[in-house]
Structure 1
Amino acid sequence: MRILHVVETLHVGGLERVVIDLVQQQVTLGHECMVNCLFEKGSLAGELEERGIPVSCCNKKSSLDLKAVRSLTGTARAFQPHVVHTHNMSSNYYAALALMNNRRIRLINTRHGIGTMPRKQKWFFGASLLRTARVVGVCHQATELLRQQFPLFHHRMMTIPNGIVLDRHPPRSREQHQRLTRQLDLPEDSLLVTVVARLNPVKNHRMLIEAFARTAENIPRARLVIIGDGELRPMLEKLVRDLAIADRARFLGDRRDVAELLAGMDLFVLPSTQEGHSISLIEACASGLPIIATNVGGNPEIVRDGFNGLLIESENTGELASRMEDLLRDREKREKFGQNGRAWAETEGSVQTMAQRYQNIYEHD
């Protein structure tokens, strides 16, 4: 089967990571794949090109760009895909326009987020659903929101959770912990709390930092390791200084060795105000980390309260501080949650499971 994936870019991000892993798994299964980026290729495109998987781009402008439509039409005509799989909204309505005169190609869309759509974008996306065979939400809440927004097409909508390459994620170990504390120039007995997320408002690092400052007063061994970058970094670094925890916090920026870093941590926290089906949470599960996450979006579909982690209410700094302190004091519970998380990832969070579920809708109505 020939499969053309359409994305905005392949810059560093959760959606982009899912697409790259899915494409590589599909190639492993014997399919012929190609990726088209509406804007520029992005920094992750090389991972595919190194494997001989072609990546093209339309160099789309910010507004409705008919040249980009023609470019995508030409790509589809040359590649002759059986399926065009688009990711998020703009990719789908550009693909729908490009395939307007070719009804034989099956169009599948995945909505990776859960946020609100601008009015104009919502109209374009709704119109594109006339040409779309299946619309996938990455968590049940995302799918229900799509059904509410576009009730005419509710029968075409379903849920397929994200998956990751589990083999990339070594389990948490004492050796990795020792290596990481040396790398970060921290005491060997440090208890490492981490988050992997873009530094933007929706990820709510501010709440984590404020809660950690409270926890650190009672847990002197606690250290905070923030992985990711973004526009809020200067403000968050200032907040760390203002709370007098600069010596207990590390900002690592964007990293390519996230799997190795996670294997040395003790606790993973995701304090988002909204979330789809978080790749970071799946990665934390695969690494055998106990988790504290806000009870929003698709988080409860990954973090089962009392099984592989704890769920807290969004914007409750006091609750987060208390739960962090409880888990950092209870090594046995951390171990139990971590083992349960890895077991869940092996059955529900793998790229193989995700690819098989997409294969089913590529081939069947």
Structure 2
Amino acid sequence: MRILHVVETLHVGGLERVVIDLVREQIVRGNHCLVVCLFEKGALVNEIEAQGIPVETCSKQGGLDIAATKRLRGFIREFQANVVHSHNVICNYYAAMALMSNTGVLLVNTRHGIGDMPIKQNWLYGLSLLRTNRAVGVCNATSNMLRRQFPVFSRKIVTVRNGIVLDAYQKRSPKSHQWLTEQLSVPGDTMLVAIVARLNMIKNHSMLFRAFRLVLESVPGARLLVIGDGELRSVLEREVRRMGLKEKIIFLGDRRDVATLLSGVDLFVLSSLKEGYSISLLEACASALPLVATNAGGNSEIVQHNNNGLLVENGDVNSLADSIIAILTSDRKRQEYGSNSRAWVEREGTVRGMCRKYEAIYQGN
């Protein structure tokens, strides 16, 4: 099968990681793949091109760019694609336009998030569903959102949950914890809490910081590791300094060794206001970590309350703090929840399982 994936860019992010892992698995399974970036290639392009996977770009400009549509149509024709798999909203209506006169190519779209779209983009996406054969939500929350917004296309909408490459992740261990505390220059018995997320409004780091200040009253030696970067970094760093927590909340920026870092922490937290199907939560599960997350979007499809972690409601700072404290102060909870996290992701969160489900869709099932 010849599969052409359309993404906005290959900058660092959960969507981009899913696409790269999916393409790798599809090639292992005997398919031919091409990745087309609608705007520009991005920071992850070297990783995928180094494996012999070609990447092209349409160099889309602002507004409706007919030239980008023509370039995409040309890539589809030259590659002789059987399937065009677009990712998120803009990519789908450009793919639909490129395929308008080509009914022999299957168009599959994956919606990776739940965030609100501008009215015009939402309208164009709805229009593009006329040409789309399958619209895929990465979790039930995303699929249900699509059905509410576009009920006329309900029969086209299915769910395929994201998956990750489990071999890339080690289970948390005392040895990894010791290594990480040494890297951070903190005492070896420090309880380490981590969040991996872009530093933007949706991830709601401010709520987590307020909760962590309360956590320190019960677990004064704890540290919060903030992994990721984004437009709010300077704002959040100032907030931490105002709270007097500069030594307790450590910004590590974008890291390529997230798997190594996670194997050394004690607890993973995600404080999102909105969320699709979080790759960082899957990574934490693969690292056998206990979880605390807000009950947003697809989080509840990964975090099973009182089984592999705890769910809290958005905005409830006290409950977030109490949940973190409950796990940090209980060896039993950390061990039990972490073990359950790993067992769950082995059953439900692998890239191989995700790939098989997409193959079934490509084949018309």
Q: TM-score range by the shorter chain?
A: over 0.9
- Quote the residue 1:305 is aligned against: 305
TM-score by length of 1: 0.99
CA distance in 2, matches of 1:48, 1:244: 42
Moved more, 244-253 or 67-76: 244-253
Supply the AA of the counterpart residue of 2:170. Answer: P
Supply the AA of the counterpart residue of 1:136. Answer: V
- Quote the residue 2:325 is aligned against: 325
Question: SS of 2:130's equivalent?
Answer: helix
How much does 1:326 deviate? 1.2
Cα offsets for 1:116-173 (capped at 9, x unmatched): 1211111111111111110000111110110111111100001111000000001100
CA distance in 2, matches of 1:245, 1:217: 12
- Quote the residue 2:71 is aligned against: 71
CA distance in 2, matches of 1:37, 1:216: 44
Unpaired segments of 5 or more residues in structure 1? none
- Quote the residue 1:174 is aligned against: 174
CA distance in 2, matches of 1:176, 1:19: 29
Alignment of 1:42-61 (within 5 A): 42-61=42-61
How much does 1:322 deviate? 1.1
CA distance in 2, matches of 1:106, 1:89: 17
How much does 1:364 deviate? 1.6
1:118 matched to 2:118? The reply is: yes
Question: SS of 2:220's equivalent?
Answer: coil
- Quote the residue 1:22 is aligned against: 22
- Quote the residue 2:142 is aligned against: 142
Moved more, 291-300 or 320-329: 320-329
CA distance in 1, matches of 2:118, 2:249: 37
Alignment of 1:234-249 (within 5 A): 234-249=234-249
Q: Which runs of 4+ in 1 moved over 3 A?
A: none
CA distance in 1, matches of 2:237, 2:28: 43
How much does 1:255 deviate? 0.2
Supply the AA of the counterpart residue of 2:335. Answer: E
Supply the AA of the counterpart residue of 1:115. Answer: G
CA distance in 2, matches of 1:130, 1:148: 16
Cα offsets for 1:183-220 (capped at 9, x unmatched): 01111100001100000001000011111011112212
- Quote the residue 1:282 is aligned against: 282
- Quote the residue 2:185 is aligned against: 185
- Quote the residue 2:357 is aligned against: 357
CA distance in 1, matches of 2:56, 2:348: 32
Supply the AA of the counterpart residue of 1:52. Answer: G
1:93 matched to 2:99? The reply is: no
How much does 1:323 deviate? 1.1
CA distance in 1, matches of 2:92, 2:248: 45
How much does 1:26 deviate? 0.4
How many residues were matched structurally?
365
Supply the AA of the counterpart residue of 2:201. Answer: P
CA distance in 2, matches of 1:49, 1:172: 31
CA distance in 1, matches of 2:157, 2:321: 38
1:208 matched to 2:200? The reply is: no
- Quote the residue 1:231 is aligned against: 231
- Quote the residue 1:38 is aligned against: 38
Question: SS of 2:129's equivalent?
Answer: helix
Unpaired segments of 5 or more residues in structure 2? none
How much does 1:331 deviate? 1.1
- Quote the residue 1:13 is aligned against: 13
CA distance in 2, matches of 1:301, 1:323: 18
Supply the AA of the counterpart residue of 1:103. Answer: T
TM-score by length of 2: 0.99
Cα offsets for 1:228-272 (capped at 9, x unmatched): 011111121112112222111210000000000000000000010
Question: SS of 2:5's equivalent?
Answer: strand
Supply the AA of the counterpart residue of 1:267. Answer: L
- Quote the residue 2:163 is aligned against: 163
Moved more, 214-223 or 132-141: 214-223
Moved more, 192-201 or 240-249: 240-249
CA distance in 2, matches of 1:151, 1:326: 42
Supply the AA of the counterpart residue of 2:317. Answer: T
CA distance in 2, matches of 1:220, 1:187: 12
1:103 matched to 2:100? The reply is: no
How much does 1:94 deviate? 0.4
CA distance in 1, matches of 2:121, 2:103: 23
Supply the AA of the counterpart residue of 2:280. Answer: S
Supply the AA of the counterpart residue of 1:269. Answer: V
